[in-house]
Amino acid sequence: MSRGQVKGPGHAQNGSIVLELNGIQQSFPQADGGRLDVIKRADLTLRRGEMVALIGPSGSGKSTLLHITGMLEKPAAGEIVIDGEATADLGDDAKTRIRREKMGFVYQYHHLLPEFSAIENVIIPQMIAGKSRREAEPRARELLERVGLGGRLQHRPGKLSGGEQQRVAIARALANSPKLILADEPTGNLDHNTSDGVFAMLSDLVHDFGVAALIATHNLEIAQRMDRAVTLRDGELVAA
């Protein structure tokens, strides 16, 4: 099925499409009374196992587009279809459910809970989604082993390096077996070598688990290692 034909729940048979953005626009009021058209048009289709770089200079609207995709911000126009479900008319509870069950988020700064251990940080989102601690623990352990932190399960975030903190954040993002990972400059705070390692690990997991990932970065070297790249140029999302 070609791009553009799949428009939502009525066509959800095509299970490989995880995310569709159709005609997304966003603008913000400015101090001078005018409006800034940050996103004039964004159309995007992401399939299972596909890792797509979202590039563009600072201020080009990458974070805005990720917030809109994560339904944390409402676009001025356009629709977001997650795993075949059109989201425009959903209430806050339904959006929260989709975020919890289908999406994992990774930020530039890890945002781990400082008072909890690495493994607890990966257990807690599963408990919020309804699992018991006992059910959640094996997956948390397995994910942390996958990201190379099998020996750091009981460490609190403050006792981990920046790269290790991002690895925990990636394990946490995958805790509830999401279909879609949204990451906003996930290696932006890391030095060159560390970001290479963290990116390689994220890439392995995305491909192994068959999730789709949209990853904002201004590191072009990292962008080139993804399956493809899109860029926000003067508010239009185009192939890079």
- Summarize as ranges the residues that interact with ligand ADP (CB under 6 A): 28, 36, 38, 56, 58-64
Parallel, antiparallel, or unpaired for β 77-82 and 228-233?
Answer: unpaired
Of the candidate spans 54-62, 96-104, 118-126, 192-200, the one that interacts with Mg ion by CB under 5 A turns out to be: 54-62
Is 28 or 161 the residue whose CB approaches ligand ADP more closely? 28
In our burial notation (b when 16+ CB lie closer than 10 A, e otherwise), range 211-235 reads: bbbbbbbbbeebbeebbebbbbeeb
- Listed in sequence order, the residues at least 6 apart from 63 whose beta carbon sits closer than 8 Å to its beta carbon are 184, 216
Provide the residue type at 209 as one letter: F
Residue carrying the six token digits 């939502």: 8
Residue 38 interacts with, from Mg ion, ligand ADP, none (CB under 5-8 Å by kind) = ligand ADP
Q: Which is nearer to ligand ADP, 107 or 146 (by Cβ)?
A: 107
Q: Confirm if 189 and 169 have CB atoms less than 8 A apart.
A: no
Q: Tell me the closest approach of the beta carbon of residue 147 to Mg ion, in angstroms.
A: 24
Which range of residues in 33-41, 55-63, 85-93, 166-174 is near Mg ion by CB under 5 A? 55-63
| Binding partner of 34, given ligand ADP, Mg ion, none, CB within 5-8 angstroms per partner class | none
Instruction: Tell me: does residue 217 bind Mg ion (CB under 5 A).
Output: no
b/e 43-54 (16+ beta carbons within 10 angstroms → b): bbbbbbbbbbbb
Rounded CA separation 158/165 (Å):
8
CB of 169 to Mg ion, least distance (A): 16
Nearer to ligand ADP, 23 or 150 (CB): 23
Residue 64 binds which of ligand ADP, Mg ion, none (CB < 5-8 A, kind-dependent) = ligand ADP
In angstroms, give the least distance from the CB of 143 to ligand ADP: 27
Instruction: Name the residue nearer to Mg ion (CB basis): 125 or 186.
Output: 186
Residue 228 backbone dihedrals phi, psi, to 5 degrees: -160, 170
Closest residue to Mg ion, based on beta-carbon distance: 63
Of Mg ion, ligand ADP, none, which one sits near residue 56, judging by CB under 5 to 8 A according to partner kind?
ligand ADP
Using DSSP's 3-state secondary structure scheme, residue 202 falls into helix
Other beta carbons less than 10 A from residue 114's beta carbon: 10
- Give the tokens for residue 105: 């988020």
Residue 63 contacts Mg ion per CB under 5 A: yes
For residue 40, how many other CB atoms are within 10 A of its CB?
Answer: 16
Shortest Å distance, C-beta 74 to ligand ADP: 11
Per CB under 5 A, 187 contacts Mg ion: no
CB of 109 to ligand ADP, least distance (A): 14
